[in-house]
Amino acid sequence: MRIAEIRTTEIDIPLRTPFKTALRTVESVHDVLVRVMADSGECGYGEAPPTAVITGETIGSIRTAIDEIIAPTLKGMEIENIDGIMHRLEKCMVKNTSAKAAVDMAVYDLYAKACGKPLYQLLGGSNKQLETDLTISVNPIDEMVRDSLEAVSRGFRILKVKVGKGDQGDVDRMIAIRQAVGKGIVLRVDANQGWEAKQAVRLIRAMEDAGVAPELVEQPVKAHDLDGMRLITASVETPVLADESLFDAKDALTLLQTHAADLLNIKLMKTGGIWQALKICSIAEIYGVECMLGCMLESKLAVSAAVHLAAGRSIITRADLDGPALCRVDPYPGGPVYDGPAITLNETPGIGVDAGFAFAE
């Protein structure tokens, strides 16, 4: 079975409410879709969001990278030669990790279909069910309290709260949310690089002292500020989770060797796909450091690739895979089932999500 054709198109899915972080505001999931077709006619599908503020990629750059460089590089390769395909994908151009991730997951989808197994079983298959958190956007406090209570009423027991103004308001937000949702709900804090190191230590300690008891604090300072990450990790009890500081396996090694984080947030759009993410899992296993599997603003297709990876590796103990829960509609047949916070893996071959409709001529 050889790769006969790789094509791209676009999809646009409205969000239930605008997604706001310290870095941006987004109204819909407008992503690139990829179809890798084998000479047998079987297809694998992938997806990439344009997260310019994090990966530097746009809809145009992702499509150009795939259409003009990746597709001609991989065409004709045997789909069973996953190792060969992934090495060529890595080497054909630098960066462009989201474009690579979309093709990587489409190749894995096709490979698992060729093997007749759901992808998570090929990746290790330790889990059939995951529980995801839900993101609460940064807004005025009363709005965030309302959104948090609505999330709890939808069944979510873990909330990831976006902060990032870097003042007492961030502490007040977390106190108000903790008081509203009660002690039984897990609260994660994501500053999206919005704080300075000493300020972060002060804010996190204030949250600890006020009884907010955050499970973790994600990326408090700038991605490149590893000294700041190290200072915070050493100074507070709350575990520090590296997100924007972690793209590839080399970053994971640096973070863990220098004690600049307690936990790692893996996202396929940063690593360049499942193949590279598996390297981070291996490094994390060596250091005994647990991982979260996260997503950008992705629809069910890309999130499901992440779901299969998370279900396949026991070092991934946390799922921040709420993309489908944030979308107003689900246009795709098949794949894992998303029911509030519960994600149940499909037993059908591949990733299981059918994006064929988007490529209909």
Give me the residues that bind Mg ion (CB under 5 A), please. Answer: 190, 218, 243
Distance separating alpha carbons of residues 322 and 132, to the nearest angstrom: 6
Closest distance of CB 21 from Mg ion, Å = 8
Question: Is 162 among the catalytic positions?
Answer: yes
Residue placing its CB nearer to Mg ion in the complex, 243 or 322: 243
Percent helix, strand and coil across the chain, each to the nearest 5 = 40, 25, 35
Q: What CA–CA distance (Å, rounded) separates 21 from 127? A: 31
* Residue (57 or 218) nearer to Mg ion, CB: 218
Count of alpha carbons within 13 Å of 124, Cβ hemisphere only?
16
State the nearest-atom distance from the C-beta of 351 to Mg ion, in Å. Answer: 23
What's the one-letter identity of residue 56?
G
The residue annotated as part of the active site, out of 100, 267, 270, 300, is 267
Looking at the Cβ atoms of 109 and 218, the one nearer to Mg ion is 218
> Looking at 100, 113, 162, 270, which residue is catalytic?
162
Q: How far is the CB of 243 from Mg ion (least distance, A)?
A: 4
Query: Shortest approach of Mg ion to residue 265 CB, angstroms?
Result: 6
Q: Which residue is nearest to Mg ion (CB)?
A: 243
| 160 noted as active-site residue | no
| Diameter over CA atoms, the chain | 61
Q: Considering the complex, state which of residue 35 and residue 173 has its C-beta at the smaller distance from Mg ion.
A: 173
> Cα 330 from chain centroid?
18
Q: What strands lie across the sheet with 263-267, from one edge to the other?
A: 134-136, 158-162, 186-190, 216-218, 240-242, 263-267, 291-294, 316-320
Q: How far is the CB of 267 from Mg ion (least distance, A)?
A: 8
Q: How far is the CB of 277 from Mg ion (least distance, A)?
A: 16
What does the alpha-carbon distance between residue 83 and residue 243 come to, in Å, rounded to a whole number? 27
C-beta of 190 vs 225, nearer to Mg ion: 190
Q: Report how far residue 265's alpha carbon sits from residue 277's, in angstroms, rounded to the nearest whole number.
A: 10
CA angle 329, 145, 263 (to 5 degrees): 80
**What Å distances lie between residue 1 and 33, 34, 70, 95, 137, CA to CA?**
22, 18, 18, 28, 45
Alpha-carbon span 299 to 311, nearest angstrom:
18
What distance in Å separates the CA atoms of residue 187 and residue 196, rounded to the nearest whole number? 21
**Which residues, 6 or more positions from 251, have their beta carbon under 8 angstroms from its beta carbon?**
242, 245
CA 326 to chain centre: 13
Give the sheet arrangement for strand 3-20, strand by strand: 3-20, 25-38, 43-48
Whichever of 31 and 243 has its CB closer to Mg ion, that residue is: 243
Give whichever of 31 and 320 is closer to Mg ion, judged by the CB atom.
320
Q: Minimum distance from CB of 280 to Mg ion (Å)?
A: 15
Catalytic machinery residues: 162, 267
